[in-house]
Amino acid sequence: MRRTLLSLALVAAFACGDDDSGNAPPDEPAGLPTPDLRLLALTDLEGKLEPCGCTSRPLGGLDRTVARIAALSAEAPSALLVVGNVLFGPPHGQAELQQPAIWEAQTLLTILQDAGVAAITPGPSDLRHGLATFEALRSAAAARLLAGNWRTPEGEALPASRVIELGDHRVGLVGVSALPPDAPLSASDPLEAARRAVDALPDDLAARVVLLQGDRRLARRIAAIEAVDFVILGGLDQADALPPAQSGTGWVVYGGRQGQGVLVLDLYVRGEGRFIDVSAWSREVQRTRLEAEIEDLEGRLRRWEADGAEADDLARQRRRLERLRRERAQLDGPPVLPARGNAFAARWEPIDPDAPKDPAVSARLESLARRINDHNRRTLADRRPPPVAEGEARYVGSRACASCHRAAYAWWQRHPHGRAYATLQERHREFHLECVGCHVTGYEQPGGSTVTHNLDGALVNVGCEVCHGPGSLHVAAPSPENIRRAPNEQVCVQCHNEEHSDLFSYEAYRASLLVPGHGRPLPSSEP
């Protein structure tokens, strides 16, 4: 049979955060052929359209991801898959966020449709805003939504599978999704549903792929079904993509959460037979494991020799060490395809903050940001902070500090804290509830600010009172006793946490804030 090539590219879910996890695979070497066909999927999108931009290297962004999908699609006939919690993220507990979240889900679904999505397998969070919302979104997805074990309250079964044609190849797709007992839809056993749907697929397929919202144990069991080649897994509470894991004769792949990158799975189809892994990613994982094992055994051998261990035991362990070194040496150089049989190679490509954007998607995201901004500005215009208790300090704004602390105030104005609100205004997000709290002073605190109320601009930016507390009593009668001299770590990590400030170190950051006039004496008599 003429050598043909099938490639699956899996686009991971969107998030902010550092990608230096150790799980990210290396770039695939140039020695492997260019894919002929490609499937593109998103795992655990969780409604994430853009990274927040506050981390050191914010990965993802749907406009950048769509541009990358287009570039990958230009190399081969392609289709897009989506699996996991797709449209909505974790619960937020704020009723005001429901309508914007629905708009975001509608925009996300439209973008996916325009990108050519071939199948969507949803997760429990996609039911978060009720059946009516889900049904409206489901109708927009049409036959592309696969969740064969789900049933509506009327008993309607959702589609379980579809076959797509890509060039000269056909690929069978099956979708199943585990649901908690309290879900508004009923769900049968996803393992049995997957087994039935896979058995019902035609025989003349290049690959059979199950889209699963579930856990690793369920993924391994489904991958072990005789006819299954790959399980694309969603539903893990893990940001990092994972290298391919074999279960039976099938393979489980996972692309992370919130769209940090693209996971590419190239399939080399050479007739009958199961797929073997020739990924540089897997080789790197194996190389790291072997190097650790070699280092450990070398250390133990030195200790055993020093302790006078038996010569036969030492010889046996040295032979084992040589075998490990030979295995390690075999992993040098690029992977190569076997002479016969099917093979695949997986890799993960981060969506870097400087990656090209799709202009149409960028425009759509900006329009959505403006819509949400205007909606919140109007609907939350009367939102006020809790009242200040009798005798307690209230917020007055950083300008009230300037008369006594001119140098500190001038330094603060130049610091990122002093320009924090402008970074939201530039992106039309100053009234976005998920953003504003870390860019204003006294957010939702007694006498402080809200999403729309900030004392006529006095409490915009991360002002003096965020760290030092409400300042009215200190302004009226300056004393070390009625102001907080320095914030503790808990004050800082409310915003400088792992999600928004991945490189934050309290001690290092605190030291950077100690400058002349702010924690250190001025070189002159200037106050």
Q: pLDDT tens digits, residue range 209-256?
A: 999 999 999 999 999 999 999 999 999 988 889 999 999 999 999 998
pLDDT at 18: 35
Cβ atoms of residues 123 and 85 within 8 Å: yes
Please determine, for residue 524, whether its predicted confidence score (pLDDT) is greater than 70.
no
Whose CA is closest to 39, among 264, 273, 280, 356?
A: 264
pLDDT at 224: 97
Confidence of residue 14 (pLDDT cuts 50, 70, 90): very low
Alpha helices (H) in 157-273, listed in sequence order:
190-200, 216-223
Alpha helices (H) in 115-207, listed in sequence order:
131-141, 190-200
Looking at domain 380-520, what is its CATH homologous superfamily? Flavocytochrome C3; Chain A (1.10.1130.10)
What mean pLDDT comes out for the span 33-62? 86
The secondary structure of residue 404, as a DSSP letter, is T
What mean pLDDT comes out for the span 395-409? 94
The Cα–Cα gap between 66 and 362 comes to: 10
Is 380-520 in the same CATH topology as 4-279+335-352? no
Secondary structure element (H or E) that encloses residue 359, with its range = helix 359-379
pLDDT at 29: 45
Cβ atoms of residues 526 and 406 within 8 Å: yes
Please determine, for residue 109, whether its predicted confidence score (pLDDT) is greater than 80.
yes
User: Considering just the CA atoms, what is the radius of gyration of the chain in Å?
Assistant: 28
Confidence of residue 93 (pLDDT cuts 50, 70, 90): low
> Would the CA dihedral through 21, 25, 26, 27 be positive or negative?
negative
What mean pLDDT comes out for the span 412-430? 94
Highest mean pLDDT among 55-59, 338-342, 359-363: 359-363
Give pLDDT tens digits for 453-487.
999 999 999 999 999 999 999 999 999 899 998 88
pLDDT at 404: 92
What mean pLDDT comes out for the span 58-67? 95
Tell me what percent of the chain is helix, strand and coil, each rounded to the nearest 5. Answer: 35, 20, 45
Class of domain 4-279+335-352 (CATH, top level): alpha beta
Q: Is 179 exposed, middle or buried (0-12, 13-18, 19+ CB in 10 A)?
A: buried
pLDDT at 139: 80
How many helices and strands (H and E) does the chain possess?
A: 15, 17
Please determine, for residue 10, whether its predicted confidence score (pLDDT) is greater than 50.
no
Give pLDDT tens digits for 348-385.
889 999 999 999 999 999 999 999 999 999 999 999 99
- What are the extents of the domains in the chain? 4-279+335-352, 290-330, 380-520
The Cα–Cα gap between 181 and 307 comes to: 59
